[in-house]
A and B are shown apart, each in its own frame.
Chain A
């Protein structure tokens, strides 16, 4: 069940009612039960897999923590990493690797059949696997002590607000909170509801509507070209940002009601002035995971700054692959790796250039110039992320250069729909500017009651009146990873 469903509403009301009624020592058990019900609702068959991953890393953590011998600690860490990644590779990458191996073998003249399995990708496996791996590594590095309470550890892995699409939490931050010594708090509940409302708005009003246009453009059979294709790729970047940020916001809001603070996963910016800026705002918990567990180990093994650049590039290739088993995702990751390397290499020179033009860091002109400079590169990478294949991406890039037709609508998505999208983006960007670095509940907390209620009224009416019709149902994009 997704967060936007009647089933989930009934589920959460029931969950909360019992949660705040039972004594603290049983709250973890009740949340654990709820989390497994939530996960099992999607597909009961994969519940044992979640449990297996939980038991494996619980045990690995205990063994690593109990052992003084470096060899034994390393062995258990290795077991945890190997088995977790093996499971992830099997479900997510096996078919891709198998068909690529077959292509390669056939290229060299070897008649090899491709073996493909029919297992569905378990929901959230990319997220909870990384969360448990992070835990094992942190225990090994002695950043945290292993969690001895199995139930609490199991809840850390399966905590339903963030189970299927993050934020990816570190053990150091989440585990202590799962003692759940909380009672119902009005202010905390209001803040949680504010986050959920804002997330709902971003998803239902903005992301879904952007998806109408994007789906039309990326349907190659429609033959769209010229500016419509460029706009489509640009809007895709916004769609995935709003869609994923919405989910994260709702997850954080739900957790807040339960008395748990999850990590911020997205900044408020919709437009980025540079690759460094983008990756400091976008899927923050995933980026920091790759930084801490892939980039730093890789870069430390190198001897100079070029090794660090190479490590950065490789990290982003892997980041791309994390998103999906296709060359399109790898190319997307690789492009962003290159962008980041270029950004790091040139940042000093660019700052000097801006300063020589009298444009300091607070200058809006400098801000705009940064956005306009980075945008085309972001759009190009977006083609590879969204298109079904590398060849489809190249076809669309080619079509985007054909300006024989300057019709901006896309099929059934007419100019008036495009205008509505623009108006909504302007309104949202205006509010984002007001937010600055604050999250919505922090911003509203500083406003008078009248402003808060006006916000509630306008946002809820927008959700009710501007949501898509039943026909264009749209699941959260990141559920596909």
Chain B
């Protein structure tokens, strides 16, 4: 028995040390989610993958001369549509310091307030590791570093270029922004997926709760990100009354709604049909967004 215990301990050390080292390296450098799972923050950006890739907190900090960096806590359409899980996550993340002139950006899109049914996404939030973590503010977040299988993150990036013949550079910023730059003319194309969508009153209720929660510590802006014409048409197909609904919520909550999807803006997208801005366009957009927010704040 003693021999077994001795060898067992040796085995554990031999396995865990390289595992932990590899996990830490890969996740802290390549995992899109990790920066969002450490620390608490005063200014939050919420939403889906459009906001994750499309809003640069560094530029906001620079434009508004903030002493702290806003944190981009947007994930993707599987993880962070508005709902009890995301709400509870945001509750744990915001720092209640009530800094003057603080603001939060709440990204909205039809998919963020709809239920989606396909083979892998149905009820997916309830399984997400992010919502099972004991802490989302520890630094380092050891639980996430050990539990998230990291090698696949690396493998996926390495093979993405090969299969899509698309050269792309991915930079995961500490502030949660995921900057993706594509070589000119290249796009990432997703395989065919069949889904059904339905408006969720529950998700809309949680969107409203999120606005109420964040309004206590700063000004809240509802932002609809710029997308391609094809994506806009698709969204108008699945949720024709979306804009009207957002205007209504904005009015009820005295919250500005800045809709960039319906403006005729020319940005570059890193994917086809055009959901996510490239890094270059994200920076341009964040400058424009800052200008509009500043105009709004000075009007008040």
Contact = CB atoms under 8 A, between A and B. Distances in A.
A405 B191 CA distance: 11
A328 B284 CA distance: 57
A221 interface: yes
Chain B interface size band reads 35 or more
A419 B18 CA distance: 25
B1 A416 contact: no
Nearest to B10: A453
A215 B119 contact: yes
A240 B155 CA distance: 26
A457 B149 contact: no
B193 A466 contact: no
B163 A470 contact: no
A184 B190 CA distance: 55
Interface string B72-103: 00000010000000000000000000000000
Interface size class of A (residues with CB under 8 A): 35 or more
Given A411-B118, A411-B119, A465 B163 contact: no
- A189, A457, A471, A473 — which one has the most chain B CB atoms within 10 A of its CB? A471
A224 B191 CA distance: 11
A216 B11 contact: no
B37 to A, nearest CB: 14
A464 B19 contact: yes
A469 interface: yes
Contacts of A457: 14-15
B127 A471 contact: yes
Q: Is chain A's interface secondary structure helix, strand, loop, or mixed overall?
A: helix
B170 interface: no
Contact of A467 (B1, B149, B155): B149
B150 interface: yes
A184 B2 CA distance: 11
A468 B149 contact: yes
B191 A465 contact: no
Contact of A456 (B11, B78, B118, B152): B11
B159 interface: yes
Contacts of B128: 470-471
Contact of A186 (B4, B19, B124): B4
Interface string B94-129: 000000000000000000000000111000100111
B161 to A, nearest CB: 10
A415 interface: yes
Contact of A460 (B15, B78, B194): B15
A289 B227 CA distance: 62
Contact of B15 (A215, A461, A472, A473): A461
B191 A411 contact: yes
A414 B193 CA distance: 11
Contacts of B3: 186
Interface string B169-201: 000000000000000000000111110000000
A50 B14 CA distance: 43
Given A216-B120, A464-B19, A414 B152 contact: no
A465 B120 contact: no
Nearest to B131: A470
A469 B119 CA distance: 16
B297 interface: no
Given A216-B119, A411-B120, A416-B156, A465 B129 contact: no
Interface in B152-171: 152, 155-156, 159-160, 162-163
Contacts of A246: none
Contacts of B247: none
B14 A223 contact: no
Contacts of B147: 470
A420 interface: yes
Nearest to A467: B149
A410 B148 CA distance: 24
Contacts of B129: 469-471
A473 B163 contact: no
B124 A471 contact: yes
A416 B163 contact: yes
B249 interface: no
A219 interface: yes
A412 interface: yes
Contacts of B192: 222-224, 405, 407, 411
Contacts of A414: 163, 190-191
B152 A470 contact: no
Contacts of B118: 219, 221-222, 411-412
Interface string A413-424: 011100110000
B272 interface: no
Contacts of B132: 470
Which of B120, B124, B150, B163 has most chain A Cβ within 10 Å? B120
A52 to B, nearest CB: 37
Given A223-B194, A412-B193, A456-B11, A466 B156 contact: no
9 contacts: A412-B119, A419-B159, A420-B159, A465-B19, A465-B152, A469-B148, A470-B127, A470-B128, A470-B129
Instruction: Rank and list the top 7 A-B pairs by shortest CB-CB distance, nearest first.
Output: A416-B159, A465-B151, A219-B119, A471-B127, A470-B129, A409-B191, A415-B163
Given A415-B163, A416-B155, 20 more contacts: A189-B4, A212-B120, A215-B119, A222-B119, A224-B192, A409-B191, A410-B191, A411-B118, A415-B159, A416-B156, A420-B155, A453-B14, A464-B19, A465-B19, A465-B22, A465-B150, A466-B151, A468-B149, A471-B78, A473-B127
